[in-house]
Amino acid sequence: MLSFLYYWLGFLFLMSLSFLSFGLGVFFFIEGKVIFLEWLILCMNSSMLSYTIILDWMSLMFIGVVCFISGSVIFYSQDYLSQDLYLNRFFILVMGFVFSMLMLIMSPSLVGILLGWDGLGLISYCLVIYFQNNNSHSAGMLTVLVNRLGDAFLIIGICWMLNCGCWHYFFYSDSSFMSYVSYFVLVASFTSSAQIPFSSWLPAAMAAPTPVSALVHSSTLVTAGVYLMIRFYSSLEQLECELFLLLALLTMIMSGFSALTEYDMSSVVALSTLSQLGLMMSCLLIGFPSLCFFHLLTHALFKSLMFLCVGIYIHGMKGAQDMRSVGLVFLSYPFVSACFCISSLSLCGFPFLSGYYSKDWIMEFISMGGFNLGVFTMFYFSACLTVIYTFRLILYSLTTQGTSMTLFLVGKEEGGGFFSILLLSVVTVVGGSGLFWLVLSKPSFIILPLFIKSFPLVLFGLGMLIVLEYLMLFQFTWGKLNIFSNNLGGFMWFMPSLFKWVSLFFINHSFFVNFCLDKGWLESYGPRGTIKFLLFYLVKIYSLGFNSAKLVLVWLLVLICLFIIWI
């Protein structure tokens, strides 16, 4: 009973903080205000230790969205993990995860960002291994190692900023010196947002409980790198980012192809997250930070709703995750299925849902941005892939007759899970239009040809037709096409092997350096060799004190003779 009280208090606290911070963010955006708060922790002579936070419209709005989703996830966990023996530990870990994210959001200093980043990495490891099995352990180790790689690049950036005498990157955002630091921060952001070649950890993190996946893959860990690069955008403009842009575009295409050949519902949703992260990062690298932040907020809303709906499906089907065995599930869960369709359509960019406002503007600005044909094609092709794998998931799980006994299950649409999904579905429907007028309030006059203007909707309809044709015809008659598509998905998803090869390369070389240098001749001729040399001769000299006077006189005579000869 005490555990449920903690969950209620946590839900009320996070929801109150969400509405307060989002309201303040709207006020700061209208008034154009920014507040710096500095807490002096320790002052000794001329040395000071302080912690600084920044409160502006961007940080406050993001805090509001993060707290809203976290509160909904905590309320959802009250029912989802009601039979778990370690419910209090799960609550403490989730709250620590949220506070680490808030520390990263509000800090204008690289040291404060590193503290929040380390907290996210450590607690995400504890959450991924929550079920304590071999799969969870492997996924947790992969997650924490990739995040530690991002820590290393942030530490290098902090050491580089020692030349400035201050770690507040806001003060040096326009200087050419920050371009070197921005490279390290950009690589660290790629590790957190799971871009190529660090993409393997994000699908592996699905070994965590569903509430953790909804929190990690929507608004916290995976978006921390994107948010950090939005903060560093003024110094990012000075960099040559063509290679990073190519990697982000390839991440979109690779994850889209991989989602087409997956039958695990949670893996498809995770790969869709990876595709959207590639879209955000590429949108940022081509010069649209406001659009990137807008899509970051809308994606957090509908993706958390999608994860919670899929979690209810898996929980109701007694752990079955294969979409081919979960057919006609809407008969048992009609409201959850409706919310799942809302989140999926929002992911596709269906008109007047939250994802439509951000994705449509991204496509329009790309169409009028003067980019080359390759960038234009990859953006629109990834959008078409998003529609295809999303409708494939909907049609498989909701309309086809699966192999399980779905018709005989009695759905339970009540309690904390039902209330959380209701909140997120309402925000998913109305949140996009509200954020559109708040984040992108400046009027823009866009003139495009009719074909280009309607091209996203054409791709939306084309994706639906491809999925219908695939399910009705290709699945049963064209077996070779299925084999080809499965092999293509396996070929595109080469990230685990690549990451394993890169890790083994560095591990082998570090072992060589450690064995031959650190424990080799550096140790022999360094501290250990010096100590052996000194001990040997000190023992010889010390032993003279215990010998006879004749030996001392002989040594004295030898020294006198040597002195005379030297003179």
Sign of CA dihedral 64, 70, 73, 75: negative
Which residues, including other chains, have CB under 8 Å from residue 106's CB and lie 6 or more apart?
53, 54, 55, 59, 63, 112
Note whether 514 and 286 are within 8 A (CB): no
Confidence of residue 490 (pLDDT cuts 50, 70, 90): very low
**C-alpha span between 118 and 383 (Å, rounded):** 34
299-346: pLDDT as tens digits:
888 888 888 888 888 877 776 777 777 767 777 778 888 888 898 888
How far is Cα of residue 66 from the mean position of the Cα atoms in its chain?
13
**β-bridge partners, 48:** 43
Highest mean pLDDT among 42-51, 408-417, 496-505: 42-51
130-165: pLDDT as tens digits:
887 787 888 888 888 888 888 888 888 888 877 776
Note whether 475 and 482 are within 8 A (CB): yes
Q: C-alpha distances in angstroms, 136 versus 81, 131, 132, 208, 315?
A: 17, 7, 6, 7, 18
Residue 44 reports pLDDT greater than 80: no
**β-bridge partners, 322:** 264
Confidence of residue 481 (pLDDT cuts 50, 70, 90): very low
pLDDT value at position 398?
75
Q: Give the pLDDT mean for 441-461.
A: 70
- Average pLDDT across the chain, whole number: 77
Residue 450 reports pLDDT greater than 80: no
**C-alpha span between 542 and 534 (Å, rounded):** 12
| Helix/strand/coil for 413 | coil
Confidence of residue 212 (pLDDT cuts 50, 70, 90): confident
| Helix/strand/coil for 50 | strand
| Helix/strand/coil for 15 | helix
Q: From its phi and psi, is residue 38 left (phi > 0), alpha (psi between -120 and 50) or beta? A: beta
Residue 224 reports pLDDT greater than 60: yes
Domain ranges of the chain: 94-492, 494-525, 534-567
Reading the block at residue 101, the tokens are 């994210």
104-131: pLDDT as tens digits:
888 888 888 888 888 888 888 888 888 8
